[in-house]
């Protein structure tokens, strides 16, 4: 398994697990999750993750909105802020440089 994949999957799974509401609560709208990647949409690793995220959304009835920033940290920061403003149920992100999104 590629190193990026082995790092991303546990993080994504944790965010999703913590974000899924308990059974019995009524949902008015489809929950929206955001995946904000520092990678490129043409990188095979990230296309693999994208397919997995889309399949998860299909299987669970959730909405996953993805964006790729190809190493452009300011645009990635803005995408994270936009997801927060949109009251995302969960946000998953990746970064090539720890601390660059603060």
pLDDT, averaged in runs of 10, over the chain (102 residues): 56 54 57 94 91 94 95 93 96 86 74
Q: Residue 83 falls within a domain, yes or no?
A: yes
Q: Residue 36 falls within a domain, yes or no?
A: yes
Q: Residue 33 falls within a domain, yes or no?
A: yes
Q: Residue 16 falls within a domain, yes or no?
A: no
pLDDT of residue 11: 59
pLDDT of residue 24: 47
Domain boundaries, position 48: 29-60+72-88
pLDDT of residue 22: 46
Q: Residue 6 falls within a domain, yes or no?
A: no
Q: Residue 24 falls within a domain, yes or no?
A: no
pLDDT of residue 100: 80
Structural domain tally of the chain?
1
Q: Residue 40 falls within a domain, yes or no?
A: yes
How many C-beta atoms surround the C-beta of residue 85 within 10 A? 8
Query: What does DSSP say about strands 63-68 and 90-93: parallel, antiparallel, or unpaired?
Result: unpaired
pTM of the model: 0.68
């Amino acid at each position: 398994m590629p190193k990026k994949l082995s790092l991303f999957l546990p993080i994504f799974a944790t965010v999703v697990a913590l974000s899924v509401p308990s059974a019995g609560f009524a949902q008015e709208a489809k929950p929206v999750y955001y995946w904000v990647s520092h990678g490129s949409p043409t990188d095979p690793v990230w296309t693999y993750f994208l397919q997995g995220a889309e399949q998860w959304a299909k299987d669970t009835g959730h909405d996953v909105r993805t964006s790729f920033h190809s190493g452009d940290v300011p645009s990635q920061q803005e995408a994270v802020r936009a997801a927060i403003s949109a009251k995302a149920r969960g946000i998953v992100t990746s970064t090539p440089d720890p601390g660059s999104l603060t």
